[in-house]
A = this chain, B = another copy of it.
Amino acid sequence: MSRTLDLAVIAGDGIGPEVIAEAVKVLRVAVPSDTKVETTDYPFSAAHYLSTGVILGDDDLESLRGHDAILLGAVGGDPRDPRLAGGIIERGLLLKLRFAFDHYVNLRPTLTLPGVQSPLRDPGAVDFVVVREGTEGPYAGTGGSIRTGTPHEIASEVSVNTAYGVERVVRFAFAQAEARRRKLTLVHKTNVMTYAGSLWQRTVDAVALEHPDVEVGYQHVDAATIHLVTNPSRFDVIVTDNLFGDIITDLAAAISGGIGLAASGNINPDGTFPSMFEPVHGSAPDIAGKQLADPTAAILSVALLLSQQGYPEVAERVTAAVTADLAARGAQTRSTTAIGDDIAGLLARA
CB atoms of A226 and B198 under 8 A apart: no
Number of this chain's copies in the assembly equals 2
A328 within 8 A of B: no
Interface segment among A5-13, A54-62, A187-195, A291-299: the answer is: A187-195
**Mask of A233-265 contacts with B, CB within 8 angstroms, 1/0:** 000000000010011111101110011000000
Q: What's the nearest-Cβ distance from chain B to residue A159, in Å?
A: 4
What number of A residues sit within 8 Å (CB to CB) of B?
A: 65
Once bound together, how far apart are the Cα atoms of A139 and B192, in whole Å? Answer: 6
Interface segment among A16-24, A116-124, A308-316: the answer is: A116-124
Known: A221-B247, A253-B226. A197 touches B121 (CB 8 A): no
Once bound together, how far apart are the Cα atoms of A225 and B259, in whole Å? Answer: 12
A151 within 8 A of B: yes
Residues of chain B within 8 A of A247, CB atoms compared: 221-222, 225, 247
Residues of chain B within 8 A of A118, CB atoms compared: 121
Interface segment among A84-92, A176-184, A208-216, A317-325: the answer is: A84-92
In the complex, the chain B residue whose C-beta lies closest to that of A247 is B222
In the complex, the chain B residue whose C-beta lies closest to that of A137 is B157
Q: Which of B120, B154, B253 contacts A161 (CB 8 A)?
A: B154
CB atoms of A196 and B226 under 8 A apart: no
Q: What's the nearest-Cβ distance from chain B to residue A234, in Å?
A: 13
A158 within 8 A of B: yes
Residues of chain B within 8 A of A167, CB atoms compared: 151
Interface segment among A26-34, A142-150, A339-347: the answer is: A142-150
Residues on A lying within 8 angstroms of B by beta carbon are 86-87, 90-91, 95, 117-122, 138-139, 143-145, 147, 149-164, 167, 189-199, 202, 221-223, 225-226, 229-230, 243, 246-251, 253-255, 258-259
Q: List 21 A-B contacts (CB under 8 A).
A: A86-B194, A86-B198, A90-B191, A91-B191, A91-B192, A95-B192, A119-B229, A119-B230, A120-B121, A138-B157, A151-B164, A151-B167, A152-B164, A153-B199, A154-B161, A154-B162, A155-B162, A157-B161, A222-B246, A225-B251, A229-B251
Given A222-B246, A226-B253: 14 more A-B contacts, CB < 8 Å: A91-B191, A91-B194, A117-B121, A143-B159, A149-B202, A151-B163, A152-B162, A153-B163, A154-B160, A157-B161, A189-B243, A192-B243, A225-B254, A229-B229
